[in-house]
Structure 1
Amino acid sequence: MEKQKFYLTTPIYYPSDKLHIGHTYCTVATDALARYHRLMGDDVLFLTGTDEHGQKIEDKAKEAGVSPKEFVDRIVEGPQGVKDLWKLMNISNDRFIRTTDDYHVASIQKIFRKMYEKGDIYKGTYKGKYCKPCESFWTESQLVDGKCPDCGREVQDAEEEAYFFRLSKYADRIQDLLENTDFLQPRSRVNEMVNNFIKPGLEDLCVSRTSFTWGVPVDFDPGHVVYVWVDALFNYTTALGLY
């Protein structure tokens, strides 16, 4: 009987500081699932890793008096760092990705360029509210009591040149995928996703930044670095060597 392929990942964690029990809980739960599927005879690939770019890490590194790369290296590779913690916990991951890995950086640049050449990414200007701790942009209507809806902290006015992904172009296809396939599990979450995110109108996503430099450079437009929605999220495929 042919083995079933089973690919699972943790989120890739943001190493702006030492990891905590919440990261451990999530990783141990994923590890248990990976071990179960190995016992069932499946061909398992278990990925975990770290999302290492962004303004928060750039600022933390500056406070510590080191470069951003030195800062994340200490947290990920250093004594009692992320890799030491997973070794101590006997986590059985098959791969560990860092978004600073050379192969990931090269893949992201290739993906970003291809999306631009296809017309799925365009240059514009972002105007709105920005939560620095969350590294998230918000519209005025999304704020809760004038503050970030995710963390409750103060937001600041932001305006900068950026590239945007035409997410709105794919709204119908995403809705069809959610409603007419088993793509999303459990099915009980489908209406929530459609009613809260699709029907109100999908907005195009900001996918580059110019207000900081710690990120994957946009190789055809110096001054821009690739923002989290492309850089971090594509790790789940770049780790498979698909690019």
Structure 2
Amino acid sequence: MWPSPHQPRKRTSHRLVVEELGQAVVGGEFSVGDILPGDVELAARFNVSRTVLREAMKTLAAKGLIVARARIGTRVMPQANWNLFDGDVLSWHFRAGVDEAFLRHVSEVRLALEPYAAGLAARRATDADISQMMRLAVAMGDAGHSAQTLARADLEFHLRLLEASLNPFMQTVGSLIEAALMGVFQLSNTAADCAEIDRVAVAHIRIVEQIRLRNEEGARVAMEQVIRVGQQQLIANLRARG
């Protein structure tokens, strides 16, 4: 996963196995219904102990990617069983390559959640919350942004808004937002032009202004506009890549 405003996850042996096997499953190296290689072979492949390997397999099973059966082995599960709200699973999807339908599905979930969170923030956010969100929105207008640093600033704003909603369930969807905005960076050009930087900053400032006015409907509409425009740009970038 690309760098986020939060503390980066330590790359332990357990984490290495989870990422490599998870990416292999989502990327199609192992198909639905396939039986994964045995513990001895996988432990040798990743140069880890069988204890580390088994803990990694438990993590992947918890994400819905695999299931272990006695005397059968570890089988790859259908996508319907995968936890698509899991940040890792979404990140592996973007790395493997996504289509327009997938991008629309992600945007639809964001549209179902984030505008309402913005309305909650308009109702509940403290003055300190609003000041911080405004600082983050204004910082998006820094002309020195690259596509990556702009995406990171965008992510930090959205996560802070979810926190300002004061709804703990909203905060748990932060991994979905993080993976979606990671996809923005992966499908964007390496450079961010000044017009794009200004547009993103103004659009997010508009959200904060509506929150400061305690205008719940205005905050919801402003957030919905940000997500819809972002979706259109993602699809345009995807098409441009053929």
Q: Which has the higher helix share?
A: 2
If the length of structure 1 is used for normalisation, what is the TM-score? 0.25
Q: TM-score, normalised by structure 2?
A: 0.25
